[in-house]
């Protein structure tokens, strides 16, 4: 038996700004760090140990190349591997809900796209 392979691609948006004035912007980078931690705990606490999921953060990139600029957005990609359709449905539905709520709690928005069966 082999696991299914899917992905979730997300764009986290804040407002960006100058690093000297972080209080004037919504910096999505620390929010992205919180989302990564939430992803790591999701499979351990929301998916049954008897029907596991492996969820890996495989891409994390900002839109800023400058060292003194707070990014306005962060791209995050997750690789999702599950053994059953039920667990895949849980990850597909519940994980984006959790991450969207966390993003909104910090004043950011999160767009996510589920990509089934990547190769």
Domains of the chain with bracketed CATH: 4-115 (3.30.70.360)
Cα(6)–Cα(58) distance, integer angstroms = 12
pTM: 0.91
Strand partners, 57: 78
Range list of β-strands (E), the chain? 4-13, 17-18, 53-62, 69-70, 73-82, 109-115
Digit-coded pLDDT (tens) for 20-39: 999 999 999 999 999 999 99
Digit-coded pLDDT (tens) for 38-84: 999 999 999 999 999 999 999 999 999 988 999 999 999 999 999 99
The two structure tokens encoding residue 2: 């082999």
Q: Give the confidence band of 1 by pLDDT, cuts at 50, 70, 90.
A: low
pLDDT of residue 85: 92
The two structure tokens encoding residue 118: 């990547």
């Amino acid at each position: 038996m082999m696991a299914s392979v899917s992905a979730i691609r997300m764009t986290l948006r804040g407002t960006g700004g100058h690093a000297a004035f972080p209080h004037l912007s919504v910096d999505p980078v620390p929010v992205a760090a919180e989302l990564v931690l939430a992803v790591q705990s999701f499979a351990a606490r929301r998916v049954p140990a008897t029907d596991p999921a492996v969820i890996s953060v495989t891409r994390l990139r900002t839109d800023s190349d400058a060292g003194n600029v707070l990014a306005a957005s962060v791209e995050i990609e997750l690789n999702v591997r599950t053994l059953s359709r039920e667990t895949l449905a849980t990850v597909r539905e519940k994980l984006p809900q959790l991450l969207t709520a966390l993003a909104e709690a910090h004043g950011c928005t999160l767009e996510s796209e589920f990509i089934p069966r990547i190769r």
